[in-house]
Structure 1
Amino acid sequence: MTSETDRFISSDPVRRRLRRLTRAERVEEAVAFIRQFAAESGHSARDTEQRIRDVRRSIRTTGSYWHSADELSFGARVAWRNHARCVGRLTWKSLQVNDCRMVADCDEVVEQTLTTLRQSFSGGKLRSAITIFAPATATSMPATFESAQIFRYAGYMLDDGAVIGDRLNIELTNVARRLGWTAPDVPSAFDLLPIIMRAPDGVRHAYSIPSDVRHEVPIRHKSLPALSNLDLRWYAVPVVTNMVLTIGGIDYPCAPFSGHYVVTEIASRSLIDPTRYGLLEPIARAFGFDPEEHDRSLWKDGALTELNRAVLDSFDAAGVTIADHHSVSDQYVAFAQLEHRAGRTPSGEWSWIVPPQAAAACPTFHLPMVNVNAVPNFYVSRHVDGADLAIDRTSLRDGKWRARYERLKRRWRHWRRRRDRIWQRA
């Protein structure tokens, strides 16, 4: 790798997140993906081998290759199937895939993403959908989203250190202000930030969210009206934008994915976590619990249960799809059973799959899980979860010696990457 390329990579914050594959590794993942696609889609051996030859030739001459529309749709669905941190994968085959790889301009990326959001909202009957923009190559990078999701509530740090809104988004709020966004004269805890994009040249742009996609649900409790005094609300559709989609050695850093919420994501985490809204005590008081009592009074448990009930009822009243943690846990068990029947190891990360509310009452609590880290998949960064992704050799039924060889090769690659990072720091 030349020093010029090193400088180019180190200066690009998006490219620094991407997995670094050698040409041999890219070919290896590409061939494994094409064979998997052929096996699960029923393609002939002759067509498969011809496709593999074409892919090898393309990577050898250009360093990359282009997925067909069918390969892209299959790869996105399998990436969802493989992603260990998602509990709602039972319906992975129904994922709506929108191929927008020819769209590169920031304005067009935002418009196409919002168009997909309008379609997938479907009057509140939410459908899982992904919009895939151009892949990253050695010489090009698509426009990307700056935030973890399309919808983000502002966080305001006051002079006395207090925070109004979402603590997670304090820095994002400052960025939005530098890009020209103006906060309301009287800031609230639930001010939606604009969409912030990073263009291929690194310049950031802010886009106002149109009113017709600003679907928010006010949180009310049917029998405990004091909760209304807190003016709680949450956006209806989670659209994840910070995950890189990787398929057959090709990375798609701009692939917004929309689904629907599990109630505990809002009621047991976002509104409660001290690093987010930290509203457990005021919510408990609204429900008639006394936070000053000893923990043995279980005031926290009671408040969380009532808040989960309020969020469920509020989304139902608004006609917006939301899952409860018991039903979605049952669905995950069904998904795991189907994967076993198909001869695959279901990938799961226990701390993400088991809900934070009534965990022991859900069947996932007692279910053994392993994160296979198989590709295709989604990842946030090679520094966080991308470096462990690899071909799932267990599904290929390799022999003992082949499996041992692959383990040693993988360890050697990890060691080499760690060594390179140490040398770069030095």
Structure 2
Amino acid sequence: MTDQPMLPRSTDLQARLHRVVPGGAHTYARGSDQYPEGAAPVLTHGEGARVWDVDGREYVEYGMGLRSVTLGHGFRPVVDAVSAAIGRGSNFSRPTELELEAAEAFLELVPTADMVKFAKNGSDATTAALRLARAFTGRDTVAICRQPFFSVDDWFIASTDMSAGTGRGAIERTVRFDYNDLESLESALAGDDVACVFLEAATGAVEPAPGFLAGVRAACDRHGTLLVLDEMITGFRWSASGAQHVYGVTPDLSCWGKAMGNGFPVSALAGRREVMELGGLNTDADRVFLLSTTHGPESGGLAAFLAVAEAYRTTDPVGRMEAAGLRLAEGVRQVASAMDLTDHVTVGGRPSCLVFGTRDPDGEPSQAWRTLFLQELVRHGVLGQSFVVSAAHTDADLEHTIDAVAQACAVYRAALDTGSVDGFLHGRPVAPALRSKAAPRRL
């Protein structure tokens, strides 16, 4: 293949970004190392499920703002609500009526919770949940499910491959357990020193086994441990009431973000009154410094949430996402089967949160072959590290995607026939976002 970048202006702007922004992006998952070299678009704007880059190219987007956009880019009711709210001022010295409306609307959606507090990002909410759990139980240890991500803060990041700079004691107060494995959870809780258990009820790739979540709830109760559900991804994608509603499990605390603002910054910590009040004024216990942020209650984010809640109340975004995901998955599987790639290009997971897999000639997961697939998708107008849909994906978007997958699979098939990506892949493979060294994608 040519050494020239597929997207010259994007490549130039990405180089400039690297000079002024560490990593060249403000989220590691958005980094250029997550895309093929020369094929990492720098975007200008979006509408619905489409985005445009500085090279003038148009794409059907998947992942949709790291799963934060379920209603589509520029969804008019949200944009109008935010515009109206910030036109009246965005930040004040006292609570606003909007804060009360947002809190009451949230608790109507999530009836397992008695109280809620808003913030701006998911890590604020999860770390506040841990602080509450430690105060409530008098314990320090946290049990974390082996799932991709829970927080940027030391208590979680210290347990990852990107732990440089974290406090030395953080990892000592962390135990891990496996999803769908109650025996490993019991082992983690055996010392009765765990303040809380953190997990996602489900992921895009894995559903809970029968009895697993009920078993987690029962184990937490037996060991005096709080159950914290991370609803960042599942909230407003599995249901407006979260995965806890879908699977019938009641957490002590739950943490929300991403799609609750359709891309606008707003997150939430919700839970039982007796736990949440440790950060309030209706307690005689030592008070917890819970969430106290200047921008947590700003008008734009809360107005966005209220508009999202109304869209979920009056329409069926989850149903549209499920239908789109089912159609897309079937189309991808048909293409892969037609080219004898069923064991090499796969798609799976919950229809509203699809992931694709790429395997090498030996049938093993491969970053190099993933990069080749991504490269060809970008070449044919599809952008995404997954096939995570939104309610804005139209039939035309899906047809475009399936055609792009067919084009990508033709190249994939040709590469498999030679046994290598050499001669087909431009540049180095993508690399895991959380890794200890910049290599193998060092600048």
Determine which structure has the larger helix proportion and give its number. Answer: 1
Normalized against structure 1, the TM-score is what? 0.30
Relative contact order (alpha carbons < 8 A, sep ≥ 6): 1 or 2 greater? 2
Normalized against structure 2, the TM-score is what? 0.29
